[in-house]
Amino acid sequence: MDAVTSAPARIILICSGKGGVGKTTLTANLGIALARLGERTVVLDADFGLRNLDLLLGLENRIVYTAQEVLAETCRLEQALVKHKLEPNLALLPAGNPRMLEWLTPEDMQRIVAMVAERADFVLIDCPAGIEDGFKNAAAAAREAIVITTPEVSAVRDADRVIGLLNTRGVAPVQLVLNRVRPRMMASQEMLGVNDVTDILALPLVGLVVEDEQVIVSTNRGEPLTLNGNGSPAAKAYQNIARRLRGEDIPVEDPSKARRGLRARLMNKIRKTTGLF
Amino acid sequence: MTLFDFIQRLLGRQKPSGTMAKERLQLVLAHDRSDLNPELLEQMRREILEVVQRYVEIDIEEGDVSLETEDRVTALVANLPIKRARPLPALVAAAAAVGMAQAPDPEAQQELALPLACEPAEDPSPADPD
């Protein structure tokens, strides 16, 4: 894609308030999925105190410079951007390294994101947990946001706080990803339902990811699920989020309401008991 | 206890936890969003009831002032069953007391306030605070 003719980059903050709900996993998978769709994508790890995006992308050994050196002009932006080996449309930029705490200001963030945005179609900012300075820095340059939460009271409550802060900052649109959905528990009403969460948070749902063991496997390997294009439910969910972000109209299905036929249930039982396919 | 209730209890049936989660969340978020602690809310409730009582007789026990949330908008919802309206003179006095009427002189105010003390309200139909 030509840098001169392309539209301004989409700058999307990925945040949750609560830690451990899947921000970084979403950023990694969404980054790969968007890159696969031909979008020049930069994922920016704004959580430089506890950075992990490099690990999830399998790029932990390739980081030399960070945004801090770029802003200090000790290196060029191209040197700090770590290109993914298997997906050249994707680059990672760590905001800083863990030894240099307390350097990033909202102005720094705006400057580095403006530089990155010149050469990208999508900039995904992986926000640290919490709603303090780390969040404020990460949010400083964001135009839109994805709030990720799980169907649990603590995660939803924290998401609500973050949404309130995003609203006062004028970040829009703010969309929701519901992660770690367990359809069976939802169907028996032993978990907050999809509609419960969207009603409470009053955000449009841009994606729904079911609990999937493959996420753990892919994290272990440092290969996001969307990289291999395997048919795991979470991989499909992440790919769908990427396509919806680009404007494709793909309805979000509530898996707890999916009516499963006798055959599907039977196959599932066989799969569970035999461990085959 | 009806037989039905008994069976329900025997089965140990209660609300599914997902429903409980939603109800608890809605309550805690209404407070989170408004930044009002329960103490302040209680104080506000008392003051609102006081003001309303100047105009109409209400059932204090049944009166309920709470925060409700829908679509990220938090509303203060008051449900105050009205027993009957106060007689007109009392209403004028009440309005004057909060500085909303055309500020009658203190003497007139006292006169107007008298019926409230000695006469029971005669007209239960709603009156307009003019």
- 8 Å CB contact of A192 and B22: yes
Cα–Cα distance for residue pair A37/A31, rounded to 1 Å: 10
Cα–Cα distance for residue pair B101/A207, rounded to 1 Å: 57
A96-123 pLDDT, tens digit each? 877 766 678 999 999 999 999 999 999 9
The verdict on residue B5 lying in a domain is no
Beta bridge partners of B79: B64
Residue in A153, A160, A188 nearest the CB of B21: A153
- Asked if the C-beta of B14 comes within 8 angstroms of chain A's C-beta atoms, the answer is no
ipTM: 0.79
The verdict on residue A245 lying in a domain is yes
The verdict on residue A1 lying in a domain is no
Q: A173 preceded by cis ω (within 30°)?
A: yes
Helix H or strand E segment including A209: strand A205-210
Res. B66: pLDDT tops 50? yes
Domain containing residue A119: CATH number: 3.40.50.300
**Min distance A32 CA to chain B CA atoms (Å):** 33
The verdict on residue B9 lying in a domain is no
For residue A23 the two structure tokens come to 């921000």
Radius of gyration of chain A (CA): 19
- Taking contacts as CB-CB distances below 8 angstroms, the residues of chain A near B34 are none
Q: Please indicate, yes or no, whether residues B106 and B118 belong to a single structural domain of this protein.
A: yes
What percent of chain A is predicted at pLDDT more than 70? 90
Candidates A16, A12, A13; CA nearest to A149 is A16
CB B63 within 8 A of CB B47: no
CB B112 within 8 A of CB B101: no
Residue carrying structure tokens 């209400």: B58
Domain span at residue B66 reads 37-85
- Which of A162, A200, A254 would best serve as a mutation to test chain B binding (most B beta carbons within 10 A)? A200
- Taking contacts as CB-CB distances below 8 angstroms, the residues of chain A near B18 are 185-186, 189-193, 196
Cα–Cα distance for residue pair B42/A53, rounded to 1 Å: 47
Tell me the backbone φ, ψ of residue B76, rounded to 5 degrees.
-90, 115
What percent of chain A is predicted at pLDDT more than 90? 81
Domain span at residue A143 reads 10-274
A162-219 pLDDT, tens digit each? 999 999 999 999 999 999 999 999 999 999 999 999 999 999 999 999 999 999 999 9
Cα–Cα distance for residue pair A62/B129, rounded to 1 Å: 77
- 8 Å CB contact of B16 and A163: no
B107-125 pLDDT, tens digit each? 433 333 333 333 333 344 4
- 8 Å CB contact of A160 and B18: no
Q: Please indicate, yes or no, whether residues B56 and B80 belong to a single structural domain of this protein.
A: yes
CB B36 within 8 A of CB B3: no
The verdict on residue B29 lying in a domain is no
Candidates A100, A92, A105; CA nearest to A31 is A92
CA distances from B78 to A182, A185, A225, B28, B63 (A): 38, 36, 51, 18, 8
